[in-house]
Amino acid sequence: MTIFVVVAAVALVIQAGMLVGMYISFKQMREKLTAMQPGIENLVKNSTLAVEQSRKQILEVTTRANEVLDISKRQLLVVEGVLNDASGRARVQLERAELILDDTLGRVHETVALVHRGVLKPLREINALSAGIRGFFEFLKGGRPSVAQVTQDEEMFI
């Protein structure tokens, strides 16, 4: 039993030594932390200020970006209105130009038809009349012309 008591006493002494060592190391750590505390407090204070400034700047940037987007949206609506108006007017002008072109082509067609009726038809009639008179005089002269004397008009019927 004495051996067990001695072993227990040695264990208690070792535990007491460990407790004293832990106390000393905790005391040293506390002194170091106490020395570092003002620096850590300044760091926390500066970090807090930086975070607040960043929040304010982000809020300003967001506000300005929203304003720019609103202005852009309004300007796009105005531009869209102008483009719609311009395209509508261009469409109307193209329709008018098409109507004018159709009218002009109709008048040109009528003019060509009048020229055919008014100028070319009488010319053909005069040509036919002169061919008839020529044929009459050839008949009076006597005989039919030989094949060597065939005219261009007569070649079409041969």
Residues 92 and 50 in one domain: yes
Residues 56 and 82 in one domain: yes
What is the number of domains present in the chain? 2
Domain annotation covers residue 143: no
pLDDT 10s digits, 6-65 = 999 999 999 999 999 999 999 999 998 888 888 888 999 999 999 999 999 999 999 999
- DSSP per position, 50-78: HHHHHHHHHHHHHHHHHHHHHHHHHHHHH
Average pLDDT score over the chain:
88
Residues 96 and 48 in one domain: yes
Domain annotation covers residue 17: yes
Residues 23 and 50 in one domain: no
Which range marks the domain in which residue 2 is found? 1-31
Residues 12 and 51 in one domain: no
Residues 65 and 25 in one domain: no
For 43-47, 83-87, 98-102, 121-125, which range has the lowest pLDDT when averaged over its residues?
121-125
Domain annotation covers residue 2: yes
Overall size of the chain counted in residues: 158
Domain annotation covers residue 37: no
Sign of the CA dihedral with 138 first, then 139, 141, and 145 last: positive
Domain annotation covers residue 141: no
